[in-house]
């Protein structure tokens, strides 16, 4: 491929937003008329998105960073979309999990009414997430953040039972306040730099234009995006919202939404736009550590499977923020690798809990036991997922946790490294509790008649456990250089983001 093909192939950047948005409205128009239409159409859409995001890796290797001007207007006058290595890393993560979850929900959502409404909202949420990842403009990020958040508020309340409505109300109020903080931060930043393009703001701030207000704006963004990412002390909505949603939505929320809307936006703004200072770095590390410890301690006493997994999500996101907050190359590499791993094994665990609920009708750990004999696929994939998240070699979780601990030791934060090791042992403890109560042990009499789940659900779970097993291969130097290290370099570059973007506009 030579440079003449660049305009043709860079036209695929807007497709990441246009495909899910268009499919959502087509499903809404035609899904009522034909049965099975919504299933096939949404699966086609997510499969095409996944193949496009894998293709984007090849594009970056050929052309470097691609900047796409929407409508032909040159930034900073117009809105631009940016495809660099961090973007394609996040795109692959999000679209892979979305594809596997739509396969799973072909059978799972039969129990709820009106499947076409579910697919419409799901594709809108996916469009919002893809838009946040791909955009290069600050207000565009806010609009897509809102699209993704509002669809997730509606999806949490999908099966209208008592607890789902209560959880969705709490989540909506807290999420809207967070979005108002983000909008306030954008307004302040605009008033000092008079531009909304991320690269242009980065350039103006480096020249010292808005120096009085940068700290206040970074605190506002930390509050807003921290709530979307479920950092402590902004985590209170997560243990209510994630268990109440239907199982494929819990997998999407806990697996990718808090990462695409929360951690990615936080990393992009703190590293590339505002510039990382020692104060911000220490705040992120301290908040990450408190999240790790609090999430782990609160997960020990839970009896509901999905609530336990939700607290465990808070704990693992603490690991990711600790890694990214360190600011060193090894730390950011470890944080991003743990982000990818956690997306894979947390969605696997939530899909497992969904199939337990599908087969037995309950989520309480005290009422189930010994399920592996009747449901082997669920049992063994859950075993792989739990061992991976606890950090047992040679599964993928072990490598990422080891890298985080090594990065902490290299940066001479010995206390944080020891806390990370202790929390890892704690994680092993409560996952062993889940395995013992749910899968091994005696089969209770009331559960003698259960069967294994349908084929599509089995397929997604098997695929995700294979990725868990092979995840450690991402660290082999040849593969690592093309996937993870490039993504790390984008963040480590920091304020050079502006020069990269303005140099790539053609």
Partner 1 sequence: MIYLMCLILFSIGIYCILVKRNLIKIIIGLGIVEYAVNLFFVLVGYRVQGRAPILAQDQVIQNMVDPLPQALVLTAIVIGLAVTALIVAIAIRIYEKYGTFDITKIRRLRG
Partner 2 sequence: MNRKTKEPGMTLIVKTITRLTVGLILLYGIYIVTHGHLSPGGGFAGGVIIALSFIHLMLAFGKDLALKKLSESLASFFESFGAIMFLTIALLGSIGGYFFFNFVFKGKPFNLFSAGIIPLCNIAICLKVGAGLFAVFVALVLLNIATEKGNK
Q: Where are the alpha helices (DSSP H) in 391-473?
A: 396-410, 414-434, 455-470
Q: Does 455 bind partner 2 (CB under 8 A)?
A: no
Q: Which does 69 bind (CB under 5 to 8 A by kind): partner 2, partner 1, none?
A: partner 2
Residues of this chain that bind partner 1 (CB under 8 A):
139, 143, 146, 150, 153-154, 157, 160-163, 165-169, 172-173, 176-177, 179-180, 183-184, 187, 190-191, 196, 240, 244, 301-302, 307
**φ and ψ at residue 197, rounded to 5 degrees:** -80, 135
CA distance 432 to 202: 47
Q: Which is nearer to partner 1, 185 or 262 (CB)?
A: 185
Q: Which does 302 bind (CB under 5 to 8 A by kind): partner 1, partner 2, none?
A: partner 1
Q: Select from 68-76, 128-136, 238-246, 463-471 the region that touches partner 2 (CB under 8 A).
A: 68-76
CA distance 216 to 28: 43
Minimal distance in Å, beta carbon 139 to partner 2? 16
Q: Which is nearer to partner 2, 81 or 251 (CB)?
A: 81
Q: Which does 208 bind (CB under 5 to 8 A by kind): partner 1, partner 2, none?
A: none
Q: What DSSP element (H or E) covers 131?
A: helix 115-134
Q: Total residues at the site for partner 2 (CB under 8 A)? A: 15
Burial of 367 (0-12, 13-18, 19+ CB in 10 A): middle
Q: Which is nearer to partner 2, 123 or 344 (CB)?
A: 123
Minimal distance in Å, beta carbon 152 to partner 1? 11
Q: Which is nearer to partner 1, 87 or 244 (CB)?
A: 244
Q: Given its phi and psi angles, is residue 444 left (phi above 0), alpha (psi -120 to 50 degrees) or beta?
A: beta
- Describe the chain by its helix, strand, coil percentages, rounded to 5: 80, 5, 20
Q: Which does 157 bind (CB under 5 to 8 A by kind): partner 1, partner 2, none?
A: partner 1
Q: Which does 440 bind (CB under 5 to 8 A by kind): partner 1, partner 2, none?
A: none
Q: Does 29 bind partner 2 (CB under 8 A)?
A: yes
Structural tokens at position 263:
């951690």
Greatest CA separation found in the chain?
Answer: 71
CA distance 42 to 485: 33
Q: Select from 13-21, 172-180, 230-238, 418-426 the region that touches partner 2 (CB under 8 A).
A: 13-21
Minimal distance in Å, beta carbon 393 to partner 1? 34
R_g over Cα of the chain: 22
Q: Which is nearer to partner 2, 147 or 403 (CB)?
A: 147
Q: Does 22 bind partner 2 (CB under 8 A)?
A: yes
Q: Which of 21, 94, 134, 365 touches partner 2 (CB under 8 A)? A: 21
Q: Which is nearer to partner 1, 143 or 447 (CB)?
A: 143
Residues forming a β-bridge with 197 = 137
Q: Which of 16, 41, 50, 68 touches partner 2 (CB under 8 A)? A: 68
Contacts of 396 (CB under 8 A, 6+ apart): 341, 344, 345, 388, 467, 468, 469, 470, 471, 472, 474
If we measure between CA atoms, which residue out of 409, 406, 407, 384 comes closest to residue 396? 384
Minimal distance in Å, beta carbon 287 to partner 1? 22
Inter-residue contact 247 to 108 (CB < 8 Å): yes
209 secondary structure, DSSP code: T
Q: Which is nearer to partner 2, 107 or 140 (CB)?
A: 140
Compute the half-sphere exposure of residue 272: CA atoms within 13 Å on the CB side of its CA. 26
Minimal distance in Å, beta carbon 52 to partner 2? 15
Q: Which does 279 bind (CB under 5 to 8 A by kind): partner 1, partner 2, none?
A: none
Q: Which is nearer to partner 2, 4 or 415 (CB)?
A: 4
Structural tokens at position 454:
């349908």
CA distance 81 to 163: 40
Q: Which residues bind partner 2 (CB under 8 A)?
A: 7, 11, 14, 18, 21-22, 25-26, 28-29, 68-72
């Amino acid at each position: 491929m030579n440079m003449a093909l660049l305009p043709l192939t860079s036209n695929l950047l807007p497709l990441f937003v246009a495909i899910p948005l268009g499919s959502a409205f087509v499903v809404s128009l035609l899904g009522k008329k034909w049965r099975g239409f919504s299933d096939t159409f949404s699966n086609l859409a997510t499969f095409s998105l996944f193949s496009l995001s894998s293709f984007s890796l090849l594009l970056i290797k050929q052309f470097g960073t691609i900047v796409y001007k929407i409508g032909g207007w040159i930034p900073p006058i117009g809105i631009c979309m940016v495809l660099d290595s961090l973007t394609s890393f996040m795109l692959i993560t999000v679209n892979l999990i979305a594809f596997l979850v739509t396969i799973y929900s072909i059978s799972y959502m039969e129990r709820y009414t009106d499947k076409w409404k579910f697919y419409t909202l799901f594709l809108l949420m996916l469009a919002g997430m893809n838009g946040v990842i791909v955009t290069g403009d600050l207000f565009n990020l806010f609009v897509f953040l809102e699209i993704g958040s509002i669809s997730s508020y509606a999806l949490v309340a999908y099966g209208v039972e008592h607890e789902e409505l209560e959880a969705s109300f709490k989540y909506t109020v807290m999420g809207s306040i967070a979005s108002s903080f983000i909008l306030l931060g954008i307004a302040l930043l605009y008033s000092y730099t008079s531009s909304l393009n991320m690269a242009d703001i980065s350039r103006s701030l480096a020249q010292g234009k808005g120096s009085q207000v940068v700290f206040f704006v970074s605190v506002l963004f930390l509050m807003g995006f921290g709530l979307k990412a479920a950092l402590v002390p902004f985590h209170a909505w997560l243990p209510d919202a994630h268990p109440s949603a239907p199982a494929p939505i819990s997998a999407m929320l806990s697996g990718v939404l808090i990462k695409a809307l929360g951690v990615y936006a936080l990393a992009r703004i703190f590293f590339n736009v505002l510039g990382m200072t020692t104060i911000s770095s220490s705040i992120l590390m301290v908040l990450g550590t408190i999240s790790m410890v609090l999430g782990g301690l609160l997960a020990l006493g839970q009896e509901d499977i999905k609530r336990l997994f939700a607290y465990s999500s808070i704990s693992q996101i603490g690991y990711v923020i600790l890694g990214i907050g360190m600011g060193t190359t090894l730390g950011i590499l470890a944080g991003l690798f743990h982000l990818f791993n956690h997306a894979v094994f947390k969605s696997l665990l939530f899909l497992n809990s969904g199939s337990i609920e599908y087969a037995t009708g309950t989520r309480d750990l005290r009422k189930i036991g010994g399920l592996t004999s009747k449901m082997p696929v669920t049992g063994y994939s859950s075993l792989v997922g739990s061992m991976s998240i606890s950090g047992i070699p040679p599964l993928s979780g072990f490598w990422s946790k080891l890298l985080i601990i090594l990065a902490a030791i290299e940066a001479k934060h010995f206390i944080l490294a020891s806390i990370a090791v202790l929390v890892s042992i704690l994680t092993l403890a409560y996952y062993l509790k889940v395995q013992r109560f749910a899968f091994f042990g005696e089969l209770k009499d009331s559960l003698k008649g259960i069967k294994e789940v349908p084929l599509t659900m089995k397929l997604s779970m098997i695929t995700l456990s294979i990725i868990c097993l092979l995840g450690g291969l991402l660290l082999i130097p040849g593969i690592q250089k093309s996937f993870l290290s490039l993504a790390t370099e984008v963040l480590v570059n920091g304020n050079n983001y502006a020069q990269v973007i303005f140099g790539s506009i053609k």
